[in-house]
Chains A and B, each alone.
Chain A
Amino acid sequence: DAGVIQSPRHEVTEMGQEVTLRCKPISGHDYLFWYRQTMMRGLELLIYFNNNVPIDDSGMPEDRFSAKMPNASFSTLKIQPSEPRDSAVYFCASRRTGVNTGELFFGEGSRLTVL
Chain B
Amino acid sequence: AQSVAQPEDQVNVAEGNPLTVKCTYSVSGNPYLFWYVQYPNRGLQFLLKYITGDNLVKGSYGFEAEFNKSQTSFHLKKPSALVSDSALYFCAVREEAGSYQLTFGKGTKLSVIP
Contacts and interface: CB of A to CB of B under 8 A. Distances in A.
Interface residues of A, number: 25
Interface of A: prevailing SS: strand
B4 to A, nearest CB: 10
> Which has the most chain A C-beta neighbours within 10 Å: B34, B43, B104?
B43
A71 interface: no
B34 A91 contact: no
Nearest to B44: A106
A103 B94 CA distance: 11
Contacts, number: 59
B43 A107 contact: yes
B43 A102 contact: no
A45 interface: yes
B34 A31 contact: no
A103 B43 CA distance: 14
B101 A101 contact: no
Contacts of A95: 100
Given A48-B101, A102-B100, A109 B32 contact: no
Given A101-B32, A102-B32, A48 B43 contact: no
Interface string B78-114: 0000000000001000101001111111110000000
A45 to B, nearest CB: 6
Interface of B: 32, 34, 36, 41-46, 49, 51, 90, 94, 96, 99-107
